[in-house]
Amino acid sequence: MADVPGWYDNDIERVVVSAEDIRTKTDELAKQVAADYSDADGVLLVCVLKGAVMFMADFARALGRYGPPAELEFMAVSSYGQGTTSSGVVRILKDLDRDIAGKHVIVVEDIVDSGLTLSWLLKYLESRSARSVEVVALLRKPDAIKVSVPVKYVGFDIANEFVVGYGLDYAERYRDAPYVGVLKPEVYQR
């Protein structure tokens, strides 16, 4: 586990996506998006806090090398659910700072699990008269998708297991790990 920094060595069972693979894939996704939007005068990237923050920063930076110019927006939502399952009922904690009417919006997501939050968000963005709305997600768990959400750009399809790192947390920890990995079972017993 050369990729695992010393601090987390004891907690991580397995690296699922390495920092190197994230870098390579992010660059590929940015090239794809740049090609698809080559006729647009700009795009508006919408990051849903906090999980997507690392991917947003790296994806925006990669897109900046290939164009078109991107504006960055952040939203925070809380999804009402029972325990760990999200219900699809969403409350906005932080809304967009500006009007998105007529803009090409790209939602930047960390992971699509049930797809419930994303499905709500896409309807919301469309209701605000975006010119187009697409999604780029670093990770997707295909088994868990209850709602069919059109995710045009996907980094990695992963197994249906709980992952942390690269923005994703367990109890607000591990967001700063540079890779995506699975925790050892004993971490949950602490």
The site for Mg ion (CB under 5 A) is made up of 48, 51, 109-110, 169
Instruction: Examine residue 26 and tell whether it contacts ligand 5GP (CB under 6 A).
Output: no
Considering CB distances under 5 to 8 angstroms, the limit depending on partner class, which of ligand 5GP, Mg ion, none binds residue 155?
none
Segment interacting with ligand 5GP (CB under 6 A) among 6-14, 92-100, 121-129, 160-168: 160-168
Residue 164: name its binding partner from ligand 5GP, Mg ion, none (Cβ under 5 to 8 Å by kind). Answer: ligand 5GP
DSSP string, the chain: -TTS-GGGTTTEEEEEE-HHHHHHHHHHHHHHHHHHTTTSS-EEEEEEETTTHHHHHHHHHHHHHH-S-EEEEEEEEEEEEETTEEEEEEEEEE--SS--TT-EEEEEEEEESS-HHHHHHHHHHHHTT-SEEEEEEEEE-GGG--S-----EEEEE--SS--BBTTB-BTTBSTT-SSEEEE-HHHHH-
Q: Which is nearer to ligand 5GP, 17 or 70 (CB)?
A: 17
Our finding on whether 110 is near ligand 5GP (CB under 6 A) is: yes
> Is 183 near ligand 5GP (CB under 6 A)?
no
The residue ranges that bind ligand 5GP (CB under 6 A) are 51, 86, 110-118, 162-164, 168-170
